[in-house]
Amino acid sequence: MKTYTLFWRTGITEIVKGNTPEEAMTLAGYSNGAVKALDLYGNGDIRNEYAWNATARSWEQIESK
């Protein structure tokens, strides 16, 4: 199984596991409707690559140094 990071439009992140992103979300208990509340997702644990901008209510990629 692969690991995926979910970034929700509420500013929360979540790690899920599955063979595909769709399977990982299903195994975590989410239906197709949950995708509307998802801002983005990525392969692996990439929580340290994004920061929540509460003013803009969106995730912003952190520039690497």
Indicate the number of domains in the chain. 1
State residue 63's pLDDT score: 85
State residue 65's pLDDT score: 61
Alpha carbon distance 23, 9 (integer Å): 20
Residue span of the structural domain in which 37 resides = 2-61
Taking the chain (65 residues) in consecutive chunks of 10 residues, what is each chunk's mean pLDDT? Answer: 97 97 94 89 97 96 82
State residue 34's pLDDT score: 87
- With a threshold of 0.75, does the pTM exceed it? yes
Q: Look at the chain and count its residues.
A: 65
